[in-house]
Structure 1
Amino acid sequence: MTWPRSRAATAGVVAGLALVVLGALLGRPDVAVLGAAPLVAGVRDWRRRPSADPTVRLVASDAAPVAGSLRADVVVTSPSTVLLGARRGARVLLDAWVVVDGTRRLPLVVHTVRTGPQDVALVDVQGVGPGAACVSEPSPPATRSTLVLPAPRPLGDLPLPPRLRGLTGAHESRRPGEGGGLRDVHPFSPGDRLRRIDWRVTARRAPDLHELYVRREHALAEAVVVLVVDSRDDVGPDPMTWRGSNPPRAQDPTSLDLARQAATSAAQGFLDLGDRVGLDDLGAVRRPLPPGGGRRQLDRIRHALALTRPEGDPLRRLRAPQIPSGALVMLFSTFLDDEAALVASVWRRAGHRVVAVDVLPTLRERHLGDRERLAMRMIRMAREDRLAELADLDIELVTWRESPHVALASLARRVQRRAGAAR
């Protein structure tokens, strides 16, 4: 690849040569001197033009990953100054002049609202020779893919399943044990601990101490929660992009981005309380992530959510995914079709407490034509009927785009009736 002469340098050399010739013809040495300077400088810079082509590549950053940020290092190799350009989709991130004499490494940080597999940026460089006398052809663009993990948001109180499990936890169960609130006061029997004796009740009921009374408490237990993400839909706020011909804008979070954030937030909230959380994908047939606890379980869930994406044509399941007995099910979906509503009704009839989280973004419809508005009205009516049927089955609904922490706290205080019981 050659370094062609720039237009400015060519114009300077031509102007200088013209002044030298004109001064010689007119016998004006002062005019010739004026043209000699740009002519000599242009020839000198042209002879110093680089011979190597500039290159650029993106490598992994050494900085710790941060949720909502794409990080990479731009490695530029060039014998001279380069014009570096970075863009993401149709959006220009930066155009900058960078002085390079050999190899230079530059950090690149891109803030994004999108999650999952993402391209950091498309970066290319164009070399500029000494004195801007020559410029190289733009280098082949370099890019790098990275995995953006969803960032959780803090939630308050969370709903619990109707039946708790385990011998330890942070929630008060109905069975007798230790650690919870007062259950009753009972006469001392074999197996009771001496430190449980309530001396005040004993003195009131048996002053002669012929019988001792002990305080019995409720046991603490843990909840089992299964998060189910419907990855079959990944739609943005603009309905015109739902056909797939035009991708959503990079600054618009899609329904799957909201589902990843909602599931991560719920997982962090339950795991912080010592509960066990699992993950399943309604749009793919693969082994689910079994319920577990601890910080490592949260890392597994975030990584699995980041890899969740639509895979080919929407899959129709023959039966709903299997849920552990007594678990709370949180289903994250747009509910644009009947599949998610169908499996939610199956879980509810089986006795599970089901919370349906609506992750459809706030739609922008002002730019739609009459036909598109009519189509959206039909879609909205069918979706509202679908959600009303879920409410009739006592499936609790939460809209993620409208203060989800308030809705979840309200569900946490609600006593749910038994599935199939009379109203």
Structure 2
Amino acid sequence: MTRWSPLTHLTAGLLLGAGVLVAGALNGRPDVAALGVAPLLTAVWGWTRRPREPLEVQVRAPRQLTASTELRAPALLRGPEGAVAARLRSSSPGTEPDECLVRLLPGEVREVALATTSVRTGENQLFRLDAVGLGSGHVTTGEVLTVGPSSVLVLPGQRPLDRLPLPPRLQGLVGPHAARRIGDGEELHDVNLFTAGDRLRRIDWRTSARRGVQDGRLQDLYVRRTQSTAEATVVLVIDSRDDVGPDVATWAGGREVLTSDVTSLDIAREAAASLARAYLGQGDRVGLEDLGLRRRPVRPGGGRRHLERVVRRLALSAPEGTPRPRVRAPQVPSGALVVVLSTFLDDEAATMALTWRHAGHRVVAVDVLPPVRGAEMSVRLLMAYRMVSLQREDRLTTLRRGGVEVVRWAADGPPPSGGRAELATLARRRHGAPR
């Protein structure tokens, strides 16, 4: 049986009522003694009607949620006979706790919506709920019940993107883009003489009447040839080896990153999810590779189900120990656009990007390092950061000189910000043109 303890209200009522009642009886004042009856009876009534069973609390947190302004989960409360209210305290890492008082009805289940925010994606411990039941008159209280926190997979959010860069070669016979070869499409390629294999419905009668008539007779037919359509293959390469925050003191692993800080892996997940949604939304094929894991990659595919598969794999990507350096770059489909999302704090991601570029792929490097807070750096830490920053800038410069197009993805700002403008600039360039 759960123990229900008296509160200060009950103790104060008992002491006040008994004291006034005794004082009135000793002084021969029945009117004064009558004043102590009410608080004394109220305290006794509240104690005798205290609940005998525990408060039932259950948090039904979803297994996965998508990062947004608010993450919600329902909490179910069931009060025993005699419980009239429950005091709740909801908390999640990186947020201020919130408290409220909920009224309970005997035998009925009360549903309360828990809401929190999280700047971190991936596996998170959210929705911790501390509950205390209150008896009749709020003079008794039960034991503190703690439920959670629950393990929730927070999927990365997605920013809207418009124009995107394309690989130098498009594949397939159908797709959303106009290819360079002649075929069935909408964009005009040229007007040429009718040859074997041309369809009759493509005959341009006006051009034939103007150019193909000799001596009043139609001698030649002209057809309108169009560019065929094809799809692009995009391979997103995420670097899960690094998960650094804006505090440089946490980069060496001696201190943990605050749960209220956005890390480089959070930015990479959001950027990759946004790119996957944009490319798949226009009919292209998207694959996923992780430089920090030796697991089987997500092969290029299309459709809504494939987007869900890619986003979930992104949310599950996390550093796992110290991976061994790769001897060779992962294989990607021929003619694919390779997008490398990394902090470029070491040489491996830059080396892989240059390898793919030298193999003839169009490579876009997305810098996902969060803005650094330098106000609290010591002199020694500031010197070390400057050296690491100079080496990192040298790698980015080497990438640009090697033909890799570098884009910085901003973690903050309104949805149109980030790398949207830079990606649109890359989309206007000729396929495969060096930077």
TM-score, normalized by length of structure 1? 0.92
Matched with 1:396 is: 405
- 1:340 corresponds to 2:382: no
Structure 1 Cα separation of the partners of residues 131 and 400 of structure 2: 57
Structure 2 residue corresponding to 1:82, chosen from 79, 86, 89: 86
CA contact (8 A) 1:227 1:329 kept: yes
Matched with 2:423 is: 408
Range moving further from structure 2, 275-284 or 142-151: 142-151
Structure 1 Cα separation of the partners of residues 129 and 192 of structure 2: 75
Flag the 1:205–1:324 CA change in 2: closer, same or farther, 3 A: same
Structure 2 Cα separation of the partners of residues 73 and 418 of structure 1: 53
Matched with 1:144 is: 150
CA contact (8 A) 2:361 2:432 kept: no
Matched with 2:362 is: 353
Q: Deviations over 1:225-250 (max 9, x none)?
A: 10111111122222233344554444
- 1:119 corresponds to 2:128: no
Structure 2 residue corresponding to 1:331, chosen from 308, 318, 340: 340
Deviation at 1:314, TM superposition (A): 3.8
Deviation at 1:311, TM superposition (A): 1.6
Q: Give 2:285's aligned amino acid.
A: R
- 1:206 corresponds to 2:206: no
CA contact (8 A) 2:95 2:116 kept: no
Structure 2 Cα separation of the partners of residues 246 and 49 of structure 1: 48
Alignment of 1:304-323 (within 5 A): 304-323=313-332
Structure 1 Cα separation of the partners of residues 11 and 267 of structure 2: 55
Deviation at 1:279, TM superposition (A): 0.9
SS in 2 for 1:299: helix
CA contact (8 A) 1:72 1:120 kept: no
Matched with 2:287 is: 278
- 1:109 corresponds to 2:115: yes
Matched with 2:37 is: 36
Structure 2 Cα separation of the partners of residues 128 and 90 of structure 1: 29
Deviation at 1:132, TM superposition (A): 2.2
Matched with 2:138 is: 132
Alignment of 1:216-235 (within 5 A): 216-235=225-244
Number of residues of Structure 1 aligned to a counterpart in Structure 2: 419
Structure 2 Cα separation of the partners of residues 245 and 19 of structure 1: 63
Deviation at 1:129, TM superposition (A): 1.6
CA contact (8 A) 1:241 1:247 kept: yes
Structure 2 Cα separation of the partners of residues 33 and 244 of structure 1: 70
Matched with 2:166 is: 160
Deviation at 1:113, TM superposition (A): 2.8
Structure 1 Cα separation of the partners of residues 62 and 319 of structure 2: 28
Structure 1 Cα separation of the partners of residues 78 and 220 of structure 2: 89
Flag the 1:163–1:60 CA change in 2: closer, same or farther, 3 A: same
Deviation at 1:389, TM superposition (A): 1.0
Alignment of 1:31-70 (within 5 A): 31-60=32-61, 67-68=67-68, 69-70=70-71
Structure 2 Cα separation of the partners of residues 330 and 308 of structure 1: 17
Deviation at 1:112, TM superposition (A): 2.7
Deviation at 1:214, TM superposition (A): 2.0
Structure 1 Cα separation of the partners of residues 18 and 94 of structure 2: 44
Structure 2 Cα separation of the partners of residues 30 and 233 of structure 1: 78
Matched with 2:11 is: 10
Alignment of 1:89-100 (within 5 A): 89=93, 91-100=95-104
SS in 1 for 2:59: strand
SS in 1 for 2:208: helix
- Structure 2, gaps ≥5 residues long: 411-416
- 1:374 corresponds to 2:374: no
Runs ≥4 residues deviating over 6 A: none
CA contact (8 A) 1:3 1:50 kept: yes
Structure 2 Cα separation of the partners of residues 137 and 417 of structure 1: 67
CA contact (8 A) 1:232 1:315 kept: no
Range moving further from structure 2, 35-44 or 338-347: 35-44
Structure 1 Cα separation of the partners of residues 100 and 32 of structure 2: 38
Deviation at 1:418, TM superposition (A): 6.6
Deviation at 1:60, TM superposition (A): 4.2
CA contact (8 A) 1:70 1:109 kept: yes
SS in 1 for 2:213: coil
SS in 2 for 1:301: helix
CA contact (8 A) 2:92 2:116 kept: no
SS in 2 for 1:343: helix
CA contact (8 A) 2:91 2:127 kept: yes
Q: Give 1:406's aligned amino acid.
A: A
Q: Give 2:145's aligned amino acid.
A: S
CA contact (8 A) 1:49 1:129 kept: yes
CA contact (8 A) 2:236 2:288 kept: yes
Deviation at 1:203, TM superposition (A): 3.0
Q: Give 1:55's aligned amino acid.
A: E
Structure 1 Cα separation of the partners of residues 432 and 161 of structure 2: 24
Structure 2 Cα separation of the partners of residues 243 and 86 of structure 1: 33
Deviation at 1:181, TM superposition (A): 3.0
Structure 1 Cα separation of the partners of residues 240 and 383 of structure 2: 26
Structure 1 Cα separation of the partners of residues 156 and 342 of structure 2: 16
Q: Give 1:95's aligned amino acid.
A: E
Deviation at 1:70, TM superposition (A): 2.6
CA contact (8 A) 2:166 2:431 kept: no
Flag the 1:139–1:221 CA change in 2: closer, same or farther, 3 A: same
Alignment of 1:178-193 (within 5 A): 178-193=184-199
SS in 1 for 2:244: coil
TM-score, normalized by length of structure 2? 0.90
Structure 2 Cα separation of the partners of residues 50 and 92 of structure 1: 31
Structure 2 Cα separation of the partners of residues 90 and 139 of structure 1: 22
Structure 1 Cα separation of the partners of residues 408 and 374 of structure 2: 19
SS in 2 for 1:266: helix
